[in-house]
């Protein structure tokens, strides 16, 4: 698994694909795809493509890791 090249949220693209989500979370690409199909994960379906808005991803991470505490 490759290490993420992003050092901060500001460097991320506006929309994240499953591969990027997986790299950022340090999980396998297949786990990234599974996560994007989980209820409550902030994914948008554009045609047949699934993407995650950067700001929604950040909020999800903070909410699910206690990042706001």
Q: CATH no. for residue 44?
A: 3.90.105
Residue at 55 is within a domain: yes
Q: Which residues contact 21 (CB under 8 A, 6 or more apart)?
A: 32, 35, 36, 52, 57
Examine the pLDDT at 59 and tell me if it is beyond 70. Answer: yes
Judge whether 5 lies within some domain: no
Calculate ∠ Cα 28-51-33, nearest 5°: 25
pTM of the model: 0.82
Q: How is residue 11 written in tokens?
A: 């460097």
Residue 24: pLDDT over 80: yes
Looking at the domain assignment, is residue 1 inside a domain?
A: no
**Residues spanned by the domain of 50:** 12-64
**Is 4 contained in some domain?**
no
Q: Identify whether 21 is part of a domain.
A: yes
Per-residue pLDDT, 66: 78
pLDDT of residue 3: 64
Domain count, the chain: 1
């Amino acid at each position: 698994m490759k290490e993420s090249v992003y050092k901060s949220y500001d460097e991320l693209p506006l929309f994240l694909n499953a591969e990027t989500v997986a790299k950022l979370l340090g999980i396998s690409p297949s786990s990234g795809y599974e996560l994007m199909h989980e209820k409550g994960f902030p994914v948008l379906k554009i045609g047949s493509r699934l993407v995650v808005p950067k700001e929604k991803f950040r909020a999800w991470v903070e909410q699910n890791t206690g990042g706001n505490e």
